[in-house]
Amino acid sequence: MNRQDYTETLLDHIERPRHYGSLPGADVTATGANPGCGDTITVYLKAGPDSTAQAVQFEGEGCSISRGAASILMAMVQGKPFAEIEAMNYNDLVDRLGRDVVLTRVRCATLALDVLKEAIRKYHGRNGLDAETPAARSGA
């Protein structure tokens, strides 16, 4: 995609966020903030079989980048295994959002990823599970 495509996708998610709102029956919630910009994101997570993100929703206030990025991220991770989500890094998300579109606002763009990973850690902790890491799965 080119810069215009990334910008249009982000604007679409800002104007019509996906997976927005509280999630009745969520197994866990987590909230995070970016005080530098005034962003606050809450993620609601419902776990599925085999440690998957059966349903993920968000609520938040703040800048357009953080809200649009949260919407895109929630759409990306629906149904994904927790291990795959935990393995995501900032570069994965920034590349999906359009590096040149969000490069000056990386903290805003990645806030939802941090909060989602915190929700997964809380889920593991509440259920007596170790966080799944690639090393743990491979037996290393």
Give per-residue pLDDT as tens, 79-117.
999 999 999 999 999 999 999 999 899 999 999 999 999
Q: Which band of pLDDT confidence, cut at 50, 70 and 90, is reported for residue 131?
A: low
Measured between alpha carbons, how far is 20 from 7 in angstroms, rounded to an integer?
A: 20
Average pLDDT over residues 51-60: 96
For the chain, give the percent of residues with pLDDT over 70.
92
Q: Which band of pLDDT confidence, cut at 50, 70 and 90, is reported for residue 139?
A: very low
User: Which tokens go with 109?
Assistant: 């763009």
Q: What is the residue-averaged pLDDT of the chain? A: 90
The CA–CA distances, whole Å, from 22 to 4, 9, 74, 110 equal: 31, 23, 13, 20
* Predicted TM-score of the model (pTM): 0.88
Q: Residue 118 in 3-state DSSP?
A: helix
Going from N- to C-terminal start, the domains of the chain cover 3-123
Measured between alpha carbons, how far is 120 from 70 in angstroms, rounded to an integer?
A: 16
For the chain, give the percent of residues with pLDDT over 90.
82
User: Does 24 have pLDDT greater than 60?
Assistant: yes
Q: Which band of pLDDT confidence, cut at 50, 70 and 90, is reported for residue 129?
A: confident
CATH number of 3-123: 3.90.1010.10
8 A C-beta contact, residue 28 and residue 112: no
